[in-house]
Amino acid sequence: MEKIPNSIIRQVFHLALVVLIGGLLFWELRGFLPSFLGAYTLYILMRKPFIWLHARKNWPKPLAAIVLMLASIVVIVLPLNSVLRMLSARIIPKINNSNDIWGAVEQFVHELEARYQVEILTQEHIGNLGDFILRESSHLLGVTFNSVGLLAITYFLLYFLLSGGSRIENAFTSWLPLKLKNLNYFRDHLNKLVYANAIGIPLVSLFQSVVAAIGYWIAGVDDPFMWFIVTFFASFIPVLGAMVVYVPLSLMLFYNGAQAYAIFLLVYGLAVVGSVDNLFRMFLQKRIGDTHPLITIFGVLAGLKLFGFVGLIFGPILISLMLLLSDVYIKEYGEYSSK
């Protein structure tokens, strides 16, 4: 029986030790995964402005990094924090204390049950639905508001990524056991998927929510600005998107006696808001790339559970990264089918 060379045994033991220690570290630091993803996402978005400030304007690296970090706090963090606090103060009490939406749903369901002689929802089911929405909304907002420490770690990592520049990026890519061609492919597509998810998805949601807010204002919905923000977050979910907002609002208008406005808002949402989503996605696909709707759907579902509201961005990035790594693996170690 041929013996296994000692060099192979030592190599396997070494790799097993690396995997074991790496797994333990990942398990203990898994709660900081949003910080790592956030730091890298911001690094990709700030890379070109940082190079411009440092190489073209001769700013010191630490100064350029600090200025860009402060700018991102003013432009992204503070507005998002204000919006989420407003939602927690206004949306959850509406869900908890208002019976308008649930009354409209009950009336609509009872009409369907009477017409088709079927039982769709019981009073218990409707109550459980309200409790579920309230509980999940509170959970998501709680995850978001308890993220001050994660935010601090994000910017701590971002500072070293920016000030380290290409040195850290090259060190990371040098660890990957890939050919130069596939290494460049991985780097280019990683940057594209970050742009597509961190910029493309929010832009589509913003444009769709602006169009939807116009319909809310015309239909006389109370507090259209608040529903504009709710629609912005709901629009991250493809296919359904803004529908989960304007359909209940239409039912609420119908329940309150504004049948004409209810029909208008429903038709406006289906015909105009839905079309805007498809058209703007096609426009962005030509500019910065696009993310497949299935990636966005499952990414949002997983991201919300893992990270709270920031999972709207990081969830699709994680799934896109997994698919990119699979694609690179096939390019490196296998061949695509000719068919």
DSSP tag of 292: -
Confidence of residue 234 (pLDDT cuts 50, 70, 90): confident
CA distances from 144 to 130, 198, 225, 304 (A): 21, 18, 21, 10
Sequence-distant (6+) residues with CB within 8 A of 268 are: 215, 218, 219, 246
Report whether pLDDT(56) > 50: yes
Write down the pLDDT at residue 241. 76
Q: Which of 103, 85, 98 is nearest to 229 (CA)?
A: 85
Q: What is the mean pLDDT of residues 315-333?
A: 83
Q: What is the mean pLDDT of the chain?
A: 77
- For residue 126, pLDDT over 70 is answered with no
150-175 tens-digit pLDDT: 788 888 988 988 887 677 777 777 77
Q: Per-residue pLDDT for 305 more than 80? A: no
Q: Does pLDDT of 221 surpass 70? A: yes
The better pLDDT of the pair 118, 301 is held by 301
Please state, in angstroms and rounded to a whole number, the distance separating the CA atoms of residues 33 and 35: 5
The CA distances from residue 291 to 37, 98, 145, 274, in Å, are 18, 37, 28, 17
Residue 70 has pLDDT above 90, yes or no: yes
- SS3 assignment, position 58: coil
Q: Over 90: is that where the pLDDT of 337 sits?
A: no
Residue 238 has a pLDDT of: 64
Does residue 332 have a pLDDT over 90?
no
What is the mean predicted confidence (pLDDT) over 241-261?
83
